[in-house]
Chains A and B, each alone.
Chain A
Amino acid sequence: MILGDLLDTPVRGPADERLGYVVDVRLVLDGPLVGPLAAPRLHGLLVSPRTGTSFLGYERTGVRSPALVARWLRWRHRGTFLVHWQDVAAVEPGAVRLRDGYRQISPDLPGRPSQRPDLHPAT
C-alpha cells in the first residue's frame, strides 16, 4: 500500500456511517535504528469530516495567522480528528473502515516543551 491509496479515501465507522475523508497520515519515529534515524511507524490517520482537500499544515499547531487563511481552513476542516492505526479495521478499495470502540483524538501535535504552557506551571 502506498500513501496515495489512503489519501482522499472516505472513512466509515463500525456501523457503516460516514465519518469523512483521510486528509493526511501521521508517522512517528520510534522503530529500531536504521542508519542515523529510527524507522518510521504509521501512528494514525487524520480524518476531516467534509473534505478531502489539504489542511495545509494548520491541523498540527495552534497557528492562527494569517487570519483570513487560517480561519477559512479551520472552518473547512472543522471537526478533524486523528484515529490510531490500530483502530482501523480494514482498508478496502474506496473506503477505510474503523473498528468498534475507535477513539477520536485531537490532531494537535504536542509542541516542544518550551512552547507548552501546561509544562510550565506558574511559579
Chain B
Amino acid sequence: MKRVLGVALGILTAIGGFLDIGDMVTNAVVGSRFGLSLAWVVVVGVIGICLFASMSGRVAAVSGRATFEIIRERLGPRAAGANLTASFLINLLTLTAEVGGIALALQLASSVEPRLWIPVAALALWLVVWRAKFSIMENVTGLVGLTLVVFAVAVFLLGPDWNELADQALSPTVPAAEGHAVYWYYAIALFGAAMTPYEVFFFSSGAVEERWTVKDLAQSRMNVLVGFPLGGILSVAIAACAAIVFLPAGIEVSSLSQIVLPVALAGGKLALAVVIVGIVAATFGAALETSLSSGYTLAQFMGWSWGKFRRPAQAARFHLTMIVCILVAGAVLMTSVDPIKITEFSVVFSAIALPLTYLPILIVANDPEYMGEHVNGRATNALALVYLVIIVTASVAAIPLMIATGAGS
C-alpha cells in the first residue's frame, strides 16, 4: 500500500511539476496564433523529456553522479566550462522568468503592482531553499500545481467545436496570417519549453538528494513516463483554451491575464481563483527548481559540496550561489522588464543549449564502467539518436529563425 501511495505521489508531483511559466506562456501564445496546429510539437517534446529525464535519472541512481559532474568528467574543464557558462546563464534567465511569473500571478490575485511582489517572492524562495526539506518542497508545489487541471476542465466547459480542434491538431497547417518561418520559430520555442535543461539538472540532482539506488529505478521511470505525458496534456489544454477564445477573434496573447481569461470565461470567479493558485504553485515550484539548479550546476562543476541533504553551513558555496542568483533575478525584474518577454526568450535559448547537456548524458548512459548492466538498450539508443538529430537541428535553426522572424513578431 505504501508503495502504491509512493508511486501515486510521484506521478502527481511530476504532473504538477511539469508545467512552468515557459509552458504556460508559450502554449497560450501558440494557441492564440496557431490554434492546435503545433500540438504535435508538445508530443515530440514530451517524449523527448521522458527519454532524457529517465536516462539522467538512471545515470544518477546507478552511478551516484549528477549531470554536471558527468559533463565535467567527460568534456574536460575547458569545454565543460563553456557548457557551464551557457547552461548557467540560461538557467538564470529561466529563474528570472519564473519569479516574474509568481509576481504576475500574485498581481492577478491582489491587484498589487508586480514590483511590490518581486521582493516578497524572492524572499519566500530563499526561505524555502534554505529551510524546507527537499521532499516536502517538491511534493507540496507539485500537488498544488495540479490545480492547473482546471485548464482541461475549462476546455470542456467552453464547449468548443471538437471537429475543428481535432482538425487543427491532426492535420496541422500554417494559418494564412502567419509565415512558415514564424511557425517553425514557435515550434522550437514549444520544444524548448517542454525540454528545458533545468528539469534534467534538477531531476538528476534530486535523485542524488533523495538517495535513489538501482531499486528505485522502476518507480522513477513510472513517475516520468506517466507524469510527464499527463503534464503534456495540460500544456495542450492551455493551448486549446487560447485557441478557442482568442484565435477566432485574432487576439494575440501577451499577458498572464489573457492566459487565464478562458478559464474565467468558462468557470467564473471560482475557476479563476483555482487557476491563480495553480499558477503561483507551478511558477514557485519551477523557481525553486531553477534556483537549486543554479547551485547544482556550479557546485558540481567546481567540485564543491552540494545538496539540500547537507546543512547550509556544510554546503556554503552551493547556498551562496543560489542566494546570488535569486538576488540577480529579482534585480533584473525590478527594472520593469516584462516577464512574459523574458519567458519567450528563455524557452528558445533552452532549445539552443539543449545539446550541451543531452550528449554527455547519452554517452555516459552507454558506458558500462558507470552503468554496469543498466546501460541503454538498443531501442532506447535508437530513439535517443533520433532525438539527438532533432535536438541539434532545433538548436542550430533557432538563432537564424529568431533573427529572420524578429523573435516571432
Interface: B368 (CB within 8 A): yes
Interface: B362 (CB within 8 A): yes
Interface: B303 (CB within 8 A): no
Q: Out of B77, B78, B367, B388, which one reaches A63, CB within 8 Å?
A: B367
Q: Out of B368, B369, B384, which one reaches A66, CB within 8 Å?
A: B384
Interface: A119 (CB within 8 A): no
One digit per residue, 1 when the CB lies within 8 angstroms of any chain B CB and 0 when it does not, for chain A 51-82 equals 00110111011010111111000000000000
One digit per residue, 1 when the CB lies within 8 angstroms of any chain A CB and 0 when it does not, for chain B 355-367 equals 0000110110011
Given A54-B76, A66-B385, A69-B388, check contact A61 B368 (CB 8 Å): yes
Q: Is the CB of B381 within 8 A of A57?
A: no
Given A56-B363, A57-B367, check contact A65 B75 (CB 8 Å): no
Given A57-B367, A61-B368, check contact A67 B385 (CB 8 Å): yes
Q: Is the CB of A57 within 8 A of B385?
A: no
Q: Which residues of A contact B385 (CB under 8 A)?
A: 66-69
Q: Is the CB of A68 within 8 A of B388?
A: yes
Most A C-beta atoms less than 10 A away, residue of B362, B368, B375: B368
Complex Cα spacing A23 to B334, Å = 46
Q: Is the CB of B367 within 8 A of A66?
A: no
Complex Cα spacing A68 to B362, Å = 12
Q: Is the CB of A54 within 8 A of B381?
A: no
| Chain B proximity of A92: nearest CB distance (Å) | 21
Interface: B133 (CB within 8 A): no
| Chain B proximity of A109: nearest CB distance (Å) | 9
Q: Which residues of B contact A53 (CB under 8 A)?
A: 79
One digit per residue, 1 when the CB lies within 8 angstroms of any chain A CB and 0 when it does not, for chain B 335-375 equals 00000000000000000000000011011001111000001
Q: Which residues of A contact B77 (CB under 8 A)?
A: 4
Q: By the criterion of a CB under 8 Å from any partner CB, how many residues of chain B are at the interface?
A: 20
Interface: B290 (CB within 8 A): no
Q: Out of A56, A65, A68, A115, which one reaches B74, CB within 8 Å?
A: A56
- A: interface residue count bin: 10 to 19
| Chain A proximity of B367: nearest CB distance (Å) | 6
Complex Cα spacing A1 to B153, Å = 65
Interface: B376 (CB within 8 A): yes
Complex Cα spacing A54 to B92, Å = 28
Given A61-B368, A61-B369, A63-B368, check contact A69 B363 (CB 8 Å): yes
| Chain B proximity of A2: nearest CB distance (Å) | 11
Q: Is the CB of B359 within 8 A of A69?
A: yes
Q: Which residues of A contact B79 (CB under 8 A)?
A: 53-54
Q: Is the CB of A66 within 8 A of B366?
A: yes
Interface: A7 (CB within 8 A): yes
Q: Is the CB of A63 within 8 A of B75?
A: no
Q: Which residues of A contact B76 (CB under 8 A)?
A: 7, 54
Complex Cα spacing A110 to B361, Å = 24
Q: Which residues of B contact A115 (CB under 8 A)?
A: 368
| Chain B proximity of A57: nearest CB distance (Å) | 6
Q: Is the CB of B376 within 8 A of A66?
A: yes
Q: Out of B359, B363, B376, which one reaches A57, CB within 8 Å?
A: B363
Considering only residues 25-73 of chain A, those with a C-beta below 8 Å from chain B are 53-54, 56-58, 60-61, 63, 65-70
Complex Cα spacing A115 to B369, Å = 11
- 4 more contacts with CB within 8 A, not counting A4-B77, A66-B362, A66-B366, are A53-B79, A54-B79, A66-B363, A66-B384
Binding site for A on B (CB under 8 A): 74-79, 359-360, 362-363, 366-369, 375-376, 381, 384-385, 388
Q: Mind listing 16 A-B residue pairs with CB under 8 Å?
A: A4-B77, A7-B76, A53-B79, A54-B76, A56-B360, A63-B368, A65-B366, A65-B375, A66-B366, A66-B376, A66-B381, A66-B384, A68-B388, A69-B363, A69-B388, A115-B368
Binding site for B on A (CB under 8 A): 4, 7, 53-54, 56-58, 60-61, 63, 65-70, 115
What are the 10 A-B residue pairs with the smallest beta carbon separation, nearest first? A66-B381, A65-B366, A68-B385, A66-B385, A56-B74, A65-B381, A54-B76, A56-B363, A57-B74, A54-B75
